[in-house]
Chain A
Amino acid sequence: MATTLARIIKYGVQNFLRNGWLSAVTILVMVLALFVFNSLVIFNFLTDSASFALKDKIDISVYFKEITGEDDILKVGKNLEALPEVRAVEYISKENALKIFSDAHKEDVVISSALEELGGNPLLASLNVKAKDPNDYDKIASYLENSSFFAAIEKVTYAQNQLVINRLAQVVNALENVGISVVIVLALIASLVTFNTIRLGIYSNREELGIMRLVGASNKYIRGPYIVNGILYGIIAGVLSLVIAAPIVSLASPYLSAFMPDVSLSNYFYGNLSKLLGYQLMFGMLLGSVSSVIAVRRYLKI
């Protein structure tokens, strides 16, 4: 058993080396396939980051009437935080609101002078509410409308922003769905191209497969070296595709950070290098060995 396994591995490596050109071409095709796979993992990361950033921008503000005390507002905040749909609640006091407002309009002479003329603080205290899922703002808004403290609320901006919020939620969902569909279609195409390349390689060896059958080799013994071959393709192609991806990621990362300041592609890439390599090797070895098994099968019927 051990001898047989050792022989199978020996022949797998031997085939790989003796068919150097074929191996090189197959690996090249597989590198391309894995590169697509790689890009897809990264694309997925980017859409996730983008949709996370978008979702983070969506919120509703609950403005409280002048007379409502800070304690009451904080109590409402606690109630909201207890809701399963709510991710975060931020309290903005009257004074804070004024500070943020005047900071934002420092340069605008008209507004600053108008504020000065007004004397007091015209702004209201508010709670800034973020949901875990943009689709849930409806629920949070209706919770507020039906709650006992509705009387203390001056206005909820959700009513005004509803359309924009819903549309953004749709865009985010669509972005993710398109991403996943693209992932599946491209991965499928890349796998089929690789499968076909391996199949052609084995087709050129069909005479050999028939001879082995005729002189009494069992199917396992014939198939084994081709599986070893496929696994070798997978390992080499997996490592190569990451080696090629690394400089591209390093080059592209600064440009992406310009669009999405919170997102660092190269941090993600190098931070998950072992995981990416693991995926690549698994995908490559699986693709190589399964393609080989399927391609060899038809020549074992003698």
Chain B
Amino acid sequence: MIAFNHVTKQYNNTAALDDVTFKVNPGEFVSIVGKSGAGKSTIVKLIIGEERPTHGRILVGSNEVNKLKSDELPRLRREVGIVFQDFKLIPTKTAAENISFALELAGRQQHEIENLVPQMLDMVGLADKADNFPNELSGGEKQRVAIARAMVHKPAVVVADEPTGNLDDFNTQEIIKLLLKINEFGTTVILSTHSRHVVDSINKRVISLSDGKIISDEEKGKYTIL
């Protein structure tokens, strides 16, 4: 479960988030939508402790994120799978090694890793790119590796921050399909996006943000921001 309780985040006196309260239940698929600067990325950054709220409480599972110390953040981040707009693959590791890395952090044994990584690569359709480095992959391929890395250790929650922002329509569809598949397995998915096309195709819960405030929160919502 993820809960934001009256969360405000200010950067130099301008509020990126203004008194935001919502709750995401286990197994839900939630899209957070809004224009650039509405506060979508700030929500993602707050969930993984990359930023700290100015006011309010943030719960992720059993963690009260706003109270975690710097050396407690790695544990939180291992409980959450994260997908970034700019992929954030480790450039000096191959596709397979990037995925292994998440399993290593989760403390898995080598034989488990050797089993799981090819399965995962197969699932995202990149079995033949295992030994390619990120600079040898296309944008869509990179993002599929990133998704594989985010979910290989079976986290309870996957957070995706504009994962399709740098991709073409075809790859966007592929990525969204993957996220929906992950959700079918029972993983909570939080997707931040500014794409009307993406949101309308998903047909699940939508939280709409504008100027740091929640303006609507609907089950089976559509993109309503003008």
Which of A109-117, A119-127, A206-214, A226-234 binds B?
A206-214
Query: Contact mask A1-21 → B, CB, 8 Å, 1/0?
Result: 001100100000001001100
Docked pose: A7 CA to B109 CA in angstroms: 11
B82 A214 Cβ-Cβ under 8 A: yes
Task: Determine how close the nearest CB of chain A comes to the CB of B224; give it in whole angstroms.
Answer: 31
Judge if B149 is at the interface, Cβ distance under 8 Å. yes
Judge if A205 is at the interface, Cβ distance under 8 Å. yes
Task: Determine how close the nearest CB of chain A comes to the CB of B46; give it in whole angstroms.
Answer: 14
Query: Contact mask B88-105 → A, CB, 8 Å, 1/0?
Result: 111110000000011011
Chain A: which residue is nearest B100 at the CB level?
A7
Task: Determine how close the nearest CB of chain B comes to the CB of A203; give it in whole angstroms.
Answer: 14
Judge if B77 is at the interface, Cβ distance under 8 Å. yes
Given contacts A214-B48, A215-B82, A301-B70, contact A18 B92 (CB under 8 A): yes
Partner of B92, one of A208, A213, A216: A208
Q: 5 A-B pairs, CB-CB below 8 angstroms?
A: A19-B92, A211-B88, A213-B74, A214-B82, A216-B74
Docked pose: A214 CA to B88 CA in angstroms: 9
Task: Determine how close the nearest CB of chain B comes to the CB of A199; give it in whole angstroms.
Answer: 18
B48 A205 Cβ-Cβ under 8 A: no
B interface, CB within 8 angstroms of A: 48, 50, 70-71, 73-78, 80, 82, 84, 88-92, 101-102, 104-105, 107, 109-110, 149
How many A-B pairs fall under 8 Å by CB?
53
Partner of B149, one of A4, A15, A215: A215
Docked pose: A205 CA to B77 CA in angstroms: 21
A15 B92 Cβ-Cβ under 8 A: yes
Docked pose: A251 CA to B61 CA in angstroms: 71
* Residue count of chain A within 8 Å CB distance of chain B: 21
A217 B92 Cβ-Cβ under 8 A: no
Residue numbers in B under 8 Å from A205 (CB-CB):
92
Residue numbers in A under 8 Å from B80 (CB-CB):
216
Task: Determine how close the nearest CB of chain B comes to the CB of A16; give it in whole angstroms.
Answer: 11
A interface, CB within 8 angstroms of B: 3-4, 7, 15, 18-19, 205, 207-208, 211-219, 221, 301-302
Partner of B77, one of A15, A215, A301: A215
Docked pose: A168 CA to B82 CA in angstroms: 74
Residue numbers in B under 8 Å from A7 (CB-CB):
104
Chain A: which residue is nearest B110 at the CB level?
A3
Given contacts A3-B110, A301-B70, A302-B50, contact A216 B105 (CB under 8 A): yes
Chain A: which residue is nearest B80 at the CB level?
A216
Partner of B75, one of A4, A216, A301: A216
A3 B109 Cβ-Cβ under 8 A: yes
Chain B: which residue is nearest A19 at the CB level?
B92
A219 B101 Cβ-Cβ under 8 A: no
Residue numbers in B under 8 Å from A211 (CB-CB):
88-90
Task: Determine how close the nearest CB of chain A comes to the CB of B151; give it in whole angstroms.
Answer: 12
Residue numbers in A under 8 Å from B102 (CB-CB):
215-216
Task: Determine how close the nearest CB of chain A comes to the CB of B96; give it in whole angstroms.
Answer: 13
Task: Determine how close the nearest CB of chain B comes to the CB of A219; give it in whole angstroms.
Answer: 7
Chain A: which residue is nearest B77 at the CB level?
A216
A212 B71 Cβ-Cβ under 8 A: no
B74 A218 Cβ-Cβ under 8 A: yes
A214 B50 Cβ-Cβ under 8 A: yes
Chain B: which residue is nearest A15 at the CB level?
B92
Residue numbers in A under 8 Å from B88 (CB-CB):
211, 214-215
